[in-house]
């Protein structure tokens, strides 16, 4: 019974933990502009993140090593460093966006400018990392993030023509008045939202933090292969809400208010209350994960002691890096750079940075010297190869598409 409960809790945590500021913004923006015609990207992205998380989690459980240990071992110190700089830049940008997201959610609740909340949010992010045990931290924010299910309830309350929604989702086409490049640019953003590099750094390092071994692999697979797709469904509910409410009225999304609007219209104040809890939990949880991820990546590349298992003094440089990145992330948002814009850029750069860590992990997951019996099977490898090609194409296309469409304008 205890095992069942643990598995159940893990799946719930994975659902709540799946959605962050990137998913909130990208799905609402896309829903309001393209309806469900880009839903296929979410599906492809979710399969991709399942595959990537499964491989990196398995590697972490078998070898006890996090992602950037292996990136450096496979690519050498120079290419490894270039990789570290690029990946950490993207993770840092995401951290800033998440901190801004928490502050925006608090603005939504109080009508006090989000900028005033930024220092407080940054302090709390650091404080939780400093004091709260790892598993409790992960569960608390993952479960509270389930309040975002308000989107699913709102969708049901809106009473849509389900067959029409399904038709839109299964017959992708570029809506009238939108160019192909713009459509593809948003496809890249949505893909970057579903597959963000930090999720993998955090997932694999978290596996090491929780002391996973080979015998935990089944639980890991259940969490990934059930939790993430359900999280993906939640993302689609956000897009569907925007499709039903914002698209017909021509309301574009450039703030968290508009993301919340469909829920407010169908569920009123109670819905908004749930949504704000969900926004705060999801973005705060992701802020913790990204802040830890910057520390994980740098420490693993340089071979420092890292993690929350021990007292902070035992992993001094790791905790110093986490603290500094939280402070810098808050400072970036305090420059009054729009957090929603920061989010949109972080998604594009996520898509660019993905293959950098995907390839080394794929190689190590196939190396019997590391993995013994637990190397990738044929099916996983076939799928992983398709994604290698896909990720590479997306990475090369992302920046040109961003320039050509002026970031989707």
Partner 1 sequence: MRGADLLGLPVVGPGGEDLGRVLDVRLVQDGPILGAFAALRIEGLVVGRRALAARLGYDRYDAQGPWLVAAGVARLTRGTRYLPWADLQLTDGEVRSQVADLGPVPKIA
Partner 2 sequence: MTGRVRDLALHLLDRQVVDTDGAAVGNVDDVELHVPEDGSPPYVIALLTGPQALGPRLGGRLGSWLVFWSHALSRHSGADPGRIGMELLTDLGAQVTVARSRVELGVHENEDRARTYFVERIPGARDARR
Residues of the shown chain interacting with partner 1 in the complex, contacts defined by CB under 8 A: 74-76, 79, 359, 362-363, 366-368, 375-376, 378, 381-382, 384-385, 388-389
**SS3 of 405, please?**
coil
**CB-nearer residue toward partner 2: 369 or 373:** 369
- Chain Cα centroid distance, residue 34: 22
Partner from partner 1, partner 2, none contacting 362, C-beta within 5 to 8 A by type: partner 1
Q: How far is the CB of 133 from partner 2 (least distance, A)?
A: 4
Helix (H) or strand (E) holding 38: none
**CB-nearer residue toward partner 2: 130 or 396:** 130
Task: Give residues with Cβ within 8 angstroms of 406, minimum separation 6.
Answer: none
**CB-nearer residue toward partner 2: 77 or 248:** 77
Q: Where are the beta strands (DSSP E) in 191-342?
A: none
**CB-nearer residue toward partner 1: 77 or 400:** 77
Cα–Cα distance, 11 to 243 (Å, whole number): 28
Closest CA to 171 of 39, 30, 26: 39
Report CA torsion sign: 218, 149, 20, 409: positive
Partner from partner 2, partner 1, none contacting 375, C-beta within 5 to 8 A by type: partner 1
- Chain Cα centroid distance, residue 26: 11
Is residue 64 involved in binding partner 2 (CB under 8 A)? yes
**CB-nearer residue toward partner 2: 160 or 312:** 312
Length of the chain: 409
Contact predicate 146/157, CB 8 Å: no
Is residue 319 involved in binding partner 2 (CB under 8 A)? yes
Partner from partner 1, partner 2, none contacting 69, C-beta within 5 to 8 A by type: partner 2
Contact segment (CB under 8 A) with partner 2 among 3-11, 129-137, 155-163, 399-407 equals: 129-137
Is residue 138 involved in binding partner 2 (CB under 8 A)? no
Q: How far is the CB of 208 from partner 1 (least distance, A)?
A: 23
174: which DSSP letter? Answer: P
């Amino acid at each position: 019974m205890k095992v069942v409960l643990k598995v159940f809790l893990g799946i719930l945590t994975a659902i709540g933990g799946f959605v962050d500021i990137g998913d909130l913004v990208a799905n609402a923006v896309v829903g309001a502009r393209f309806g469900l015609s880009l839903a296929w990207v979410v599906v492809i992205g979710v399969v991709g993140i399942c595959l990537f998380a499964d491989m990196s989690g398995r590697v972490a459980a078998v070898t006890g090593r996090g992602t950037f240990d292996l990136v450096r071992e496979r690519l050498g110190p120079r290419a490894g460093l270039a990789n570290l700089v690029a990946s950490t830049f993207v993770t840092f940008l995401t951290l800033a966006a998440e901190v801004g997201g928490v502050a925006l959610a608090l603005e939504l609740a109080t009508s006090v400018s989000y900028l005033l909340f930024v220092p407080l949010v940054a302090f709390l992010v650091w404080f939780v990392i400093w004091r709260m045990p790892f598993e409790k931290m992960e569960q608390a924010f993952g479960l509270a993030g389930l309040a975002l299910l308000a989107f699913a309830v709102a969708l049901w309350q809106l009473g849509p023509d389900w067959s029409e929604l399904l038709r839109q989702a299964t017959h992708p086409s570029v809506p009238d008045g939108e160019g192909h490049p713009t459509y593809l640019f948003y496809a890249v953003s949505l893909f970057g939202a579903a597959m963000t590099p930090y999720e993998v750094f955090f997932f694999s390092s978290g596996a090491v933090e929780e002391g996973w071994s080979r015998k935990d692999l089944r639980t890991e697979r259940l969490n990934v292969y059930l939790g993430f797709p359900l999280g993906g469904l939640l993302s689609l509910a956000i897009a569907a809400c925007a499709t039903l409410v914002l698209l017909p009225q021509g309301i574009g999304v450039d703030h968290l208010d508009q993301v919340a609007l469909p829920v407010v219209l169908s569920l009123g104040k109670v819905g908004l209350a749930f949504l704000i809890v969900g926004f705060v939990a999801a973005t705060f949880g992701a802020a913790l994960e990204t802040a830890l991820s910057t520390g994980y990546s740098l420490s693993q590349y340089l071979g420092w002691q890292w993690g929350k298992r021990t007292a902070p003094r035992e992993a001094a440089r790791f905790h110093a890096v986490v603290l500094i990145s939280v402070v810098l992330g808050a400072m970036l948002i305090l420059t009054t750079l729009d957090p929603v814009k920061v989010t949109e850029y972080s998604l594009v750069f996520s898509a660019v940075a993905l293959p950098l860590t995907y390839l080394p992990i794929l190689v190590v997951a196939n190396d019997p010297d590391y993995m013994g019996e637990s190397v990738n099977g044929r099916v996983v490898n076939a799928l992983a190869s398709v994604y290698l090609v896909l990720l590479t194409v997306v990475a090369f296309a992302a920046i040109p598409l961003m320039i050509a469409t002026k970031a989707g304008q």
